[in-house]
Amino acid sequence: MYAKTTLANGIRVVTDTMPAVRSVSIGVLVDASPRDEAPEQSGLAHLIEHAMFQGTSSRDAMQIARLMDVAGGQMGAFTSRDYTCYCATVLDDYRTYALDLLGDILLNSLFPTESLEREKEAILREIAVGRDTPGERTHALLKAFAWSGHPLGRPVVGQPDTVRSLTREDVIYFVHEHYLPGRMIIAAAGSVEHDDFVAQVRDAFWRLLGQSEPRASTRPTYQTGVTMEHMPVSQAYFSLGVRACPYTHPDRYSLHALNSVLGGGISSRLFRRIREERGLVYHIGSEYHAYRDDGMLVIEGSTDPEYLAEVLDLTLAELGKLVNTDGPLEDELWKAKMQIRGQHIIAAEDVYTRMSRLATQELYFGRHIPTDEILDQVETVNGHTIRRLAADTLRDTPHQIAVAIVGSDVSQRCSTSAVEELLTGLQ
């Protein structure tokens, strides 16, 4: 059962009561993210997420860590390109306890300088791990290239030089500027009663005051073409990004179905054609990445460097078929709908997923979207809508496609000009 209340200070509280469970998942979604950073402060939002657990006026970092462990379940935070979320999934016995702790760290964190320096070092290690992981590196390179000059293109964790330069004053200013009631959504799903939870949120967050300035949102410029980076690995890793619609676009359901047909599983076209029929890759697949002001259909995989050009050619050929007469077959579309339906319903049995959906739907749409409405929209997708979407998405190809490649001497095996020629050949 869904319910919503807006507190006097502007915080939105949304709940989804699930009577048959003993657990509850609580999330504080803050509409503050890397898109609010200056370029020279890249990584600031992510550093703050780390720093929130390093001590408050009443608890030090060790006490916070012990309390998180004692509660069982899971408690933590993450930073995305659109928002930051602090969350806890615990037994309902610890609901008040978890909410009090979340309120304490968000309202009373002290951000000690010595702790910030330690967290910066930890984040530098995190950046290094990502750069040592070829799949992650290729993905980051793709978005940095395609959305160059826009916050969507900057890594959430920041760059080593920008992270090192961040100060306690930067952290405090960002929190005071962006961690405001109008930018907060507090969601709970599971064993929770709405009015009782609203009262507990009011007790934990009543001191949070202030008005947030509206944020301008413009669709970024999308850069197309090819970028390559040397990395001493045996395989050639690639990420191919096709510009797609933003999170709230009416075509989002058709795009999810298109993604399923193209690369959303082991029966998808890319997997069957390139892995099963040709044996050129171990894994290949696609995902739809959607944000507030833009989106991307990302196809990723790896292969031996000598087969890279062939794999990219086959991948682009499958994209071309979707645009032309060889759109999704009836059984492919049925499978895609069943896959989306099953994944949505199964995930909804998890309290964390239900909480996350509540919070993100409130952020992006300003309302709750019932499961029946979502499934009805999925059911309306047909072959014509997918072919139209594919044509719109790939219109003026290669002007909608960016490719990032990471590997050892890949430029000798498959030059930038050769890949650009493949893109030009896609009609």
Residues with catalytic annotation? 49
First to last CA, the chain: 49
Look at residues 290, 359, 355 and name the one whose alpha carbon lies nearest to residue 29.
Answer: 359
- CB atoms < 10 A from the CB of 182, how many? 15
- What tokens were used for 30? 């803050």
DSSP labels, 115-127: HHHHHHHHHHHHH
User: Is the separation of the CB atoms in 79 and 25 below 8 Å?
Assistant: no
Measured between alpha carbons, how far is 341 from 260 in angstroms, rounded to an integer? 12
In the block, tokens 């900057």 appear at 154
Measured between alpha carbons, how far is 340 from 302 in angstroms, rounded to an integer? 26
Antiparallel, parallel or unpaired: β 12-17 and 184-190: parallel
Half-sphere exposure of 119 (CA within 13 A, CB side): 25
- Within 224-312, strands assigned E span 225-230, 236-244, 284-290, 295-303
- What tokens were used for 69? 């462990």
Is 246 exposed, middle or buried (CB count within 10 Å of its CB: 0-12, 13-18, 19+)? middle
User: Is the separation of the CB atoms in 53 and 61 below 8 Å?
Assistant: yes
Distances (CA, A) of 142 to 267, 344, 370: 26, 28, 34
In the block, tokens 């794999």 appear at 311
Measured between alpha carbons, how far is 148 from 150 in angstroms, rounded to an integer? 6
Look at residues 167, 157, 213 and name the one whose alpha carbon lies nearest to residue 31.
Answer: 213
Residue 189, H or E segment: strand 184-190
Measured between alpha carbons, how far is 257 from 290 in angstroms, rounded to an integer? 14
Burial 306-328 (b: 16+ CB within 10 A, else e): ebbbbbbebbbebbbbbbeeebb
